[in-house]
Amino acid sequence: MPGKEEFVVTPYEVKGRIDYERLREQFGTQPVTPELLAKLHHIAGGELPPALARGIYYSHRDLPALLDGFAHGNPFFLYSGRGPSGPLHTSHLLQFQLCQWFQKRLGVPMYIQITDDEKFWSSKTGIAREETVHWGLENLTDILALGFDPKRTHTFFDSRSIAAMYPLAVRIARKVPYSTVKAVFGFTPSTNIGLVFYTALQTVPAFWPSWAEGRPVPCLIPCGIDQDPHFRITRDMAESFGYPKPALLHSQMVPGLLGESVMSTTGDRADNALFLDDPPEAVERKVRNAFTGGRATVEEQRRLGATPEICSVWALWRTQFAESDAKFAEVTAGCRSGTLLCGECKSQLLERVGKFYAAHRVARAKAKEWAESTIVTRAPRDL
């Protein structure tokens, strides 16, 4: 195990307590500054979403240039994806909620990639093909239910969109030497060849509108900071096609309910997250048992206050469930001062989580009717 100061962050492994500023410097990305947030606020109008206002998206590549271009009449599109291996949990929604906010505010198109092939190739547990396909459609429905516009949202469901993707994928694959993907992803002689080719498929959505429209169309990819190496390859080859380098907006990792700084839900870790198909009693149990930054006794907590930064319940308030920055500030101040106790804090959170699940169920039923219609099946031109 890494020591206190050590951490590992790659697209396939995250461990240790991450020093996010150090990681940003290692990756050579730019910080999301108050000036950049003010620019975004000015262009988008209205309040920023929690993920931006509360510092969860903290790093970027080339975001100011993308926003300046938008302000001068050059719209961009959004690209984000999901590797389907099971039900989504609330933290999976973070990047899509941010994309939905961008789409709603700026009217930009959204491209979603469902990587049912990659999940099958990379699974350490031997997941069946049928399962990745099944969960692909289920996950897509949950994502679309966040409020995406059916007319402006397009899905690359890899195994079902392959005929459309392949003409661009072959062009991309030709430009990626094996030595590059080996160095970035740490492939070994036993890595299956599906994963080697997958880099080309993951790049397709980032270039698709430029390819389809025959002109450079800027792209914004919100992603976890651990995914930055994937997209460095995409950025490195963009100019050789005459396309803009995709801008990136990176988030910190969301901690699990059981207290680890990075969430894992495999094996016996199902209580580490709130899954969208959890029944209300499971949600209640998970939140009630969640790791907190509280003190050993009520008396101590009232006297000394608690520590929100290490609390998984506070992380839920911060990322998604505090409906306003004022409510988030109230919870944080109450926690620090000891006027808010963990039991009451969890009850207030559960009320909001319950409302979210109820609204999501309704939205999901509607999205199910049109989810399939977003799947891209035709290339803009042949071969």
Q: Total number of residues binding ligand SF4 (CB under 6 A)?
A: 13
- Name the minimum Å distance from CB 189 to ligand SF4: 47
Q: Is 306 in the site for ligand SF4 (CB under 6 A)?
A: yes
Q: Is 294 in the site for ligand SF4 (CB under 6 A)?
A: yes
| Only segment of 143-151, 250-258, 276-284, 306-314 that touches ligand SF4 (CB under 6 A) | 306-314
- Name the minimum Å distance from CB 5 to ligand SF4: 25
147: left (phi over 0), alpha (psi -120 to 50) or beta: left
| Only segment of 6-14, 242-250, 263-271, 290-298 that touches ligand SF4 (CB under 6 A) | 290-298
Footprint on residues 314-343 left by ligand SF4 (CB under 6 A): 314, 335, 340, 342
CA 342/CA 8 separation, integer angstroms: 32
Q: In this complex, which beta carbon is closest to ligand SF4, that of residue 57 or of residue 321? A: 321
Q: How far is CA 263 from the centre of its chain?
A: 13
CB atoms closer than 10 angstroms to residue 292: 23
Q: Is 51 in the site for ligand SF4 (CB under 6 A)?
A: no
Instruction: List CB contacts of 367: < 8 A, sequence separation 6 or more.
Output: 141, 142, 144, 145
Quick one: which H or E segment has residue 286?
Answer: helix 280-288
For ligand SF4, the binding residue among 50, 222, 246, 308 (CB under 6 A) is: 308
Q: In this complex, which beta carbon is closest to ligand SF4, that of residue 112 or of residue 287? A: 287
Taking 3-state DSSP, the helix, strand and coil percentages for the chain, each rounded to the nearest 5, stand at 55, 10, 30
Q: By the 8 A CB rule, do 181 and 201 touch? A: no
What residues does 61 pair with on adjacent strands?
248
Q: Is 313 in the site for ligand SF4 (CB under 6 A)?
A: yes
Q: Is 255 in the site for ligand SF4 (CB under 6 A)?
A: no
For ligand SF4, the binding residue among 56, 311, 322, 367 (CB under 6 A) is: 311
CA 270/CA 257 separation, integer angstroms: 10
Q: In this complex, which beta carbon is closest to ligand SF4, that of residue 96 or of residue 328? A: 328
Q: In this complex, which beta carbon is closest to ligand SF4, that of residue 212 or of residue 310? A: 310
Q: Which two tokens stand for residue 31?
A: 């910080």
CA 271/CA 274 separation, integer angstroms: 7
Q: Which spans of this chain sit near ligand SF4 (rule: CB under 6 A)?
A: 292-294, 306, 308, 311, 313-314, 335, 340, 342, 345-346
